[in-house]
Amino acid sequence: MSDRTTSVPATTEREPAPPPSPARRGRLGVASVALGSFAIVLSEFLPVGLLPAIASGLDVPVGTAGLVVVVTGLLAAVAAPAVTVAASGLDRRVVLTGLGALLVVSDVLAALAPTFPLLLLDRVLLGISLGGFWAIGAGIAGRLVPPADTIRATALITGGISVATVVSLPLGAAVSAFASWRLAFVIGGAVGLAALVLQLIALPGLPAAHRVRVSALGALFRVPRARVGLLGAAFAFAAQFAASTYVTPFLQDRAGVGPGTVTFALLVFGLAGIAGNFAAGATLGRSVLGTAGTAQVVLAATVVLLPLLAHSTVGVLVLVVVWGFAWGALPLAMQTWMSTASPAGAETGLALFVTTIQLAIAAGSVLGGLVVTSAGLDTDFRLAGAIAFAGALVFVVLGSRRTAHAAAQDLSPVGPTPPGAP
């Protein structure tokens, strides 16, 4: 018999399937984090449409019930830097899945909460999960996919915010109309559990790159690029929420549209935001400064023009779509700026970014309420537009003063700052 027969396999048993390629596993990992971002923002904003039902069910005033949203944001502002420092030596997969588990626990306990103080305590847990997730998970794409795909992958992760924002209000309203408010927290917990399981399956081990110390967070304020990013984000988010918090009263009282048109306007605002997020993912590779600056200017212009076109339903709807598109681009653009701003790595920059935007959201909402109460909706929108314009001017002027090396960094993908980068 020829020696060539020895090369024929001795068995016809099927060989095991090859493991998923690193690229495919990386995409699955990104998808799992994107689902996590959807779950956490859904859990954050679902109660907004349920406040009257929560107030009635737990026998508290509606204004008091609103603390379930406020407390979450304030705790996230504290948790972002705290989790970044405390968990800096841990594998990022362990940290993200731990924060995901905390989200599920928070929603389950909220669904079972017999009293309002206990519900608030459960939302404290959500705030910790929220702040930690955005400080660590928002910049994780650079460790899961090749550099050329990083911005697109990050756009998918932040896209979970836009989708959750679109879904949360109508879903909360539907739950309020047809079931107990507690079901909303069950839904949030179920989505969070699905994200947690997918992360356990798809995320590879991601050892910590380096330890983050409290001093590194403070030192970030001495980095010009970081100061510009934090200042720009503070102006943009404060302006956005000074206006968007009162968009429904504006549509009803100033534009004079009915409930159906209000619902439609909010829906198209959210859908435009999703489109803006992914459009930013395409343009950020060319210019972070240009993408963020343009979005801020467009946001300011639309907010200022809304009171002037309040007599035209079509004009208002067009401006709402443009506003939503610009706003959808801003979080990803500012996050990309901050992720390359810190010599200590992306997580340090993102931790202070999360703290800044959460405080700006609270400040903008409070400022908007004071202005609406004392001077009316038109004045609130004009003031919000002025804040956004001022922020755009500061961001573009100061951001343009970077060195040629820092300007070249605008073209780099989201991820840890390379060694030696300013």
What's the pLDDT score for residue 53? 84
Quote the crossing angle between the two packed helices 224-244 and 377-399, to the nearest 10°: 160
What's the pLDDT score for residue 165? 76
* pLDDT above 70 as % of the chain: 85
Cα–Cα dist 28/277, whole Å:
20
Mention the CATH class of domain 216-422.
mainly alpha
Closest CA to 244 of 276, 271, 264, 269: 269
Tokens of 264: 């439609």
Distances from the Cα of 413 to the Cαs of 126, 138, 152, 285, 417, in angstroms? 30, 13, 9, 7, 10
Cα–Cα dist 74/58, whole Å:
22
Tokens of 250: 């504006």
Cα–Cα dist 262/247, whole Å:
9
Cα–Cα dist 138/231, whole Å:
19
One-letter amino acid for residue 262 of the chain: V
Closest CA to 96 of 61, 62, 143, 129: 129
124-170 residue pLDDT tens: 999 999 988 988 887 788 888 888 888 888 888 888 877 887 787 77
Cα–Cα dist 217/214, whole Å:
5
Whole-model pTM over 0.85? no
Cα–Cα dist 6/206, whole Å:
44
Cα–Cα dist 300/243, whole Å:
10
342-366 residue pLDDT tens: 666 666 778 888 889 889 988 888 8
Residue 313 above 80 pLDDT? yes
| More confident call, 177 vs 8 | 177
Confidence of residue 298 (pLDDT cuts 50, 70, 90): very high
Confidence of residue 174 (pLDDT cuts 50, 70, 90): confident
One-letter amino acid for residue 381 of the chain: F
Tokens of 46: 């679902």
Distances from the Cα of 207 to the Cαs of 130, 185, 191, 335, in angstroms? 21, 32, 26, 22
One-letter amino acid for residue 42 of the chain: L
Give start-end residues of each CATH 1.20.1250.20 domain in the chain.
Answer: 21-211, 216-422
Cα–Cα dist 53/23, whole Å:
46
What's the pLDDT score for residue 421? 31
Per DSSP (E only), the strands in 58-186 are: none
Residue with tokens 């980068």: 421
What's the pLDDT score for residue 3? 42
Cβ-based neighbours of 122, under 8 Å, separated by 6 or more: 106, 107, 109, 110, 113
Cα–Cα dist 322/328, whole Å:
10
- Is 212:84 a contact under the CB 8 Å cutoff? yes
Residue 331 above 70 pLDDT? yes
CATH number of 21-211: 1.20.1250.20
Distances from the Cα of 389 to the Cαs of 47, 378, 402, in angstroms? 31, 17, 21
Distances from the Cα of 92 to the Cαs of 33, 158, 205, 302, in angstroms? 12, 18, 7, 40
DSSP class of residue 12? -
**Range ranked top by mean pLDDT from 10-19, 46-55, 99-108, 148-157:** 99-108
One-letter amino acid for residue 301 of the chain: A
